[in-house]
Chains A and B, each alone.
Chain A
Amino acid sequence: MSEIKLVFTGSLGAGKTTAISTISEIPVINTDVATTDKAAQRKEMTTVALDYGELSLDETQKLKLYGTPGQERFEYMWPILIKGALGLIILVDHASADPLSDLALFVRYFKPYIEETATVIGVTRTDLGVEHNMQAYHDYLQKQDLQLPVFTIDARNREHVIIMIQALTAMVEFA
């Protein structure tokens, strides 16, 4: 059985914790605590160390799913969690005030990994009626000289998350 480590990152409330608990076949390890700052308006709980879940794609492949905290003050956790990862998922909350700069922050930070590691972008919360342009993500990535697949997903939807993960693991195999 081969084990593949994947990391979910992206800004606060993009759906990292939700996506991992949606697809994990083991009870997830969760380090969410009460939010005590202005983020409380958006979320009651926030991840302060990591999320961890597992998913077997078939008899030969087990995915180890790690989630990072989203706030920059937990940036020191990012290199710890990315160590040994073969795939990176950057989730973007489409309904946030400025989803493009959210994405840019994580692209900038993980650039060295993105260049060496299979990476996909997952745009979440597109059902909330916010008028942001999907094309803007592609334009931004193109400007960065990055060819990354962009998926529109609902992190609460198992099928959505699995399709994105399967695309990512296919990229891992070809890398």
Chain B
Amino acid sequence: MLAKLIQPKVTPLLERLLRDCDDIHAALVVTVDGNMCAMQQKKNYTLERLASMGSSLMSLGDTITAELKMGACNNIISENEQGIIAFMHINDKLVLISITTHKNALGMLLSHSRICAQNMAQEVGDL
């Protein structure tokens, strides 16, 4: 079970992401087939189901991007009335999902999440 193996490696990095960026209210790492690896949050969202939902969305993003031959799908952004959700690959097995309730924090959300995803990729190494 990859998710269990990954959990201790990414948890400190998730904690740092939420600490370093005030605007990020929750973040989680899930496998591409929808298993939860780790989650951190400053609110009390129910995040469990986001593992499978996030993996569906990421795969649809990859599928649509491939259809248009646009290379790799960097991230999927969901901008909503009460916040923004970003989905991005950490590597080919893992996805980072990050959440802000600030409607104007897209740039912040993406840049911090991207750096975090890169650090996680390095931390977990080849899977």
Contact = CB atoms under 8 A, between A and B. Distances in A.
A46 B60 CA distance: 13
A31 B60 CA distance: 6
Contacts of B3: 36-37
A49 B60 contact: yes
Interface string B35-52: 100000000000001011
Interface string A18-37: 00000000000111111111
Interface string B1-13: 1110000000000
Given A33-B33, A34-B33, A74 B52 contact: yes
B103 interface: no
Contacts of A174: none
Interface in B10-60: 31-35, 49, 51-53, 55-57, 59-60
B93 A29 contact: no
Interface residues of A, number: 20
B78 interface: no
Nearest to A38: B1
Given A37-B33, A74-B52, A48 B1 contact: no
A79 to B, nearest CB: 13
B33 A76 contact: no
A36 B56 contact: no
A69 B34 CA distance: 11
A12 to B, nearest CB: 10
Contact residues of B: prevailing secondary structure: helix
Contacts of B49: 73, 76
Contact of A36 (B31, B53, B63): B31
B92 A34 contact: yes
Given A36-B3, A38-B1, A31 B56 contact: yes
Given A34-B92, A36-B93, A37-B31, A49 B56 contact: yes
Interface of B: 1-3, 31-35, 49, 51-53, 55-57, 59-60, 62-63, 67, 92-93
Interface of A: 29-39, 46, 48-49, 69, 71, 73-74, 76-77
Given A31-B63, A46-B33, A49-B63, 18 more contacts: A29-B63, A29-B67, A31-B62, A32-B59, A33-B55, A33-B59, A36-B2, A36-B33, A36-B35, A37-B3, A48-B52, A48-B56, A49-B56, A49-B60, A73-B51, A73-B52, A74-B52, A76-B52
